[in-house]
Chain A
Amino acid sequence: MIVMTKESLQILKEQDVILFRNRVKEFATKIGMSLLNQTKLITAASELVRNMLKYANGGVVILEIIGKDRVTGIRLTFTDKGPGIADIRLAMKDGYSTGKSLGLGLPGAKRLVNEFDIKSEVGKGTTVTIIRWKNGI
């Protein structure tokens, strides 16, 4: 896998979400991603970034354009130093939320992207990595 473009963004307040989303859109347009896949990626990114703000008071996102076997895609890595998730299996279940929301953020985001990886350690923080390929289903 090769990384073609890399950028990192600080997310500290709600206004940063819009800025970040526009940046993701720019990246997606740059590699010629279809409107549907763009919307899916942006929505997934939006869910994860909101989680980061809500539970960990912000963090850092790394945006990358990556290539593998002649396909291009976008990889987003969300890193925070929040409280961490005690039970990832439970957090990935539809409708489970500790914060009075719909409980669709994490499982929904997973369904919207091609690759999804979550690592968390209680008291240390959480890292979520998602990849959406240009023409992946």
Chain B
Amino acid sequence: MKNQSLKFLQKSKKHLLETWMSNQMEDQALREDLMSNDELRNQSDELLTALLKTLNSDNIDNTQSKDFEQVSGILSDISVSRARHGFSPRETAQFVLSLKQALTQTLEKEYTDDPKVLLDSYIAINKLIDSLNIITFETFIKGREEVIIRQTDEMNEISTPVIRVWEGVVALPIIGTLDSMRTQIVMENLLQEIVNTGSTIAILDISGVPAVDSLVAQHLLKTVSATRLMGAECIISGIRPEIAQTIVHLGIDLSHIKTKASLASALKLAFSMLNVEVKRVEKNRQNNG
């Protein structure tokens, strides 16, 4: 692209911004609910200013060059924030693509008499905006992935609560699949809680584990061994009939571990180990009175 047409674009920045804004306003995909028009104008202004300042006839073909660091930085920030705010990919891509329209419209008006310059700048602008659009895309997806990673972490955190059910008894209901990372979290939480509460019995409830394969069983066995090393006894509860049969067919030996079908029976076992008895009290006094 010739210097002449670039200079012209830089001069008509104000006009460009207006055209771009009105293009964005007309678009069906405008999300006034997610972002105010003022904010949109600020974003657009910032990007356009940086872009026009950066552009010269040497670097327009190469958006990977150092000159474009500022532009791609701004663009990344915009698309990451859009990803977090819940914009769709289409809406985010439209933001950059509508700039292309504004640029070409402005050039078209100026160079109607000079088709050669017009075509030349047209091609350059197309290439430029396309590569900017790729940056938007990449960072948009990265923004989304960060959201997913954060959610996974949160899920791991909240899904392993250790509950103190009785003096000296803690229970840990496991929900979902036990992979290596979760086992680590489960084990850490459980062992820490055994120390904190001075418990001697830990109940691991696996009612919420969909399938017990040999890896899950191995993780369970490790957790039980670690609990024993801490001087506490471990009971595994919530073994469903189909899981029991599957474990037998797989050939996993859990016979040296105390297992129960339900959390209630595990708690009962825990009580008898602690020499605690739960009795129903006859409400004689009430009847007499």
Find B213's partner among A38, A43, A107 (CB 8 Å cutoff).
Answer: A43
Residue pair B242, A36 in contact (C-beta under 8 Å)? yes
Cα–Cα, bound, A50→B215 (Å): 9
Interface string of A93-120 (1 = CB under 8 A from B): 0100000011011011001100000000
* Separation of A105 and B179 alpha carbons in the complex (Å): 16
- Please state if A111 and B243 are interface contacts (CB–CB under 8 Å): no
Judge whether B165 is part of the interface by a CB distance below 8 angstroms.
no
A70–B55 alpha-carbon span in the complex (Å): 71
B:244-273 near A, CB below 8 Å: 245-246, 249-252
Q: B62 an interface residue at 8 Å Cβ cutoff?
A: no
Question: Quick one: which of B245, B246, B251 contacts A107, CB cutoff 8 A?
Answer: B251
The residue in chain B whose Cβ has the minimal distance to the Cβ of A35 is B242
Give the shortest distance, in Å, between B36 (CB) and chain A (any CB): 37
Q: Which of B115-161 contact A (CB under 8 A)?
A: none
Instruction: Report the minimum CB–CB distance from B31 to chain A (whole Å).
Output: 31
Chain B residues whose C-beta falls within 8 Å of the C-beta of A42 in the assembled complex: 210-211
Q: Are B249 and A104 in contact (CB under 8 A)?
A: no
Interface size on B, residues (CB 8 A): 19
Is B179 a contact partner of A102 (Cβ separation < 8 A)?
Answer: no
Task: With A43-B250, A112-B250 as known contacts, state yes or no: A101 contacts B214, CB within 8 Å.
Answer: yes
Q: Are B249 and A14 in contact (CB under 8 A)?
A: no
A47 within 8 A of B: yes
Closest to B243 in A: A39
Report which B residues bind A (CB closer than 8 A).
177, 179, 210-215, 217-218, 241-243, 245-246, 249-252
10 cross-chain pairs, A with B, having the tightest CB-CB distances, nearest first: A108-B250, A39-B242, A46-B213, A104-B214, A36-B242, A111-B249, A102-B214, A43-B246, A43-B213, A104-B251
Residues of A within 8 A of B (CB): 14, 17-18, 21, 35-36, 38-40, 42-43, 46-47, 50, 94, 101-102, 104-105, 107-108, 111-112
Q: A36-B246, A108-B250 are in contact. List 17 more A-B contacts (CB 8 A).
A: A14-B179, A17-B177, A36-B242, A39-B242, A40-B246, A40-B249, A43-B212, A46-B213, A47-B213, A47-B214, A47-B215, A50-B215, A104-B214, A105-B213, A108-B214, A111-B250, A112-B250
Give 16 A-B contacts (CB < 8 Å), ordered by A residue. Answer: A14-B179, A21-B210, A36-B241, A36-B246, A39-B211, A39-B245, A39-B246, A42-B210, A43-B246, A46-B213, A47-B215, A104-B250, A104-B252, A105-B214, A112-B249, A112-B250
